[in-house]
């Protein structure tokens, strides 16, 4: 079942998945495993993907890169600010604990 569908679709990006599905399908003796293999293949799109439109992929990459930079870069900066403030507060607590342990008699 899987072997015919993988041979009919010469998509280079899915060779690894086709090989994995073939191995699972050929070694499957249980109907549940065969059904899970068929569902995984359908879900991943190995059986119905006929070609990869490289122009659309390049356009999508060109279009989504600024969007990712717009939303991910500020998120990373905010996470770094929060992490540095947590480190600062932990250091301050540690320093205050050390100062409380030392008596100043002068």
- Please report the DSSP string for 29-81 in residue order: -SHHHHHHHHHHHHHHTTTT-----HHHHHHHHHHHHHHHHHHHHHHHHHHHH
Give the residue numbers spanning the domain of 7. 2-44
Helix (H, G, I), strand (E, B) or coil at 104: coil
Is the domain of 6 the same as that of 40? yes
Average pLDDT over residues 61-81: 89
Is the domain of 57 the same as that of 97? yes
Is the domain of 25 the same as that of 74? no
Average pLDDT over residues 69-91: 94
Is the domain of 57 the same as that of 104? yes
Which domain-ending residue is among 27, 44, 61?
Answer: 44
> 13-70 pLDDT, tens per residue?
445 556 666 665 555 566 776 677 667 666 665 555 555 566 777 888 888 888 888 8
Looking at the structure of the chain, the number of domains it has is: 2
Greater pLDDT, 9 or 35:
35
Please give the Cα distance from 71 to 58 (Å, whole number). 20
Greater pLDDT, 17 or 11:
17
Is the domain of 70 the same as that of 104? yes
Greater pLDDT, 96 or 52:
96
Predicted structure pTM score: 0.39
Is the domain of 103 the same as that of 71? yes
Is the domain of 78 the same as that of 104? yes
Is the domain of 60 the same as that of 98? yes
């Amino acid at each position: 079942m899987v072997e015919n569908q993988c041979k009919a679709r010469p998509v280079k990006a899915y060779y690894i998945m086709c090989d994995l599905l073939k191995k699972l399908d050929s070694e499957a003796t249980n109907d549940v495993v065969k059904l899970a293999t068929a569902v995984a293949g359908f879900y991943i799109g190995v059986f119905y993907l006929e070609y990869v439109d490289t122009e659309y992929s390049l356009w999508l990459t060109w279009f989504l890169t600024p969007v990712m930079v717009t939303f991910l870069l500020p998120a990373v900066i905010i996470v770094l600010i929060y992490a540095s403030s947590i480190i600062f507060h932990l250091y301050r607590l540690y320093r205050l604990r050390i100062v409380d342990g030392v008596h100043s008699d002068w």
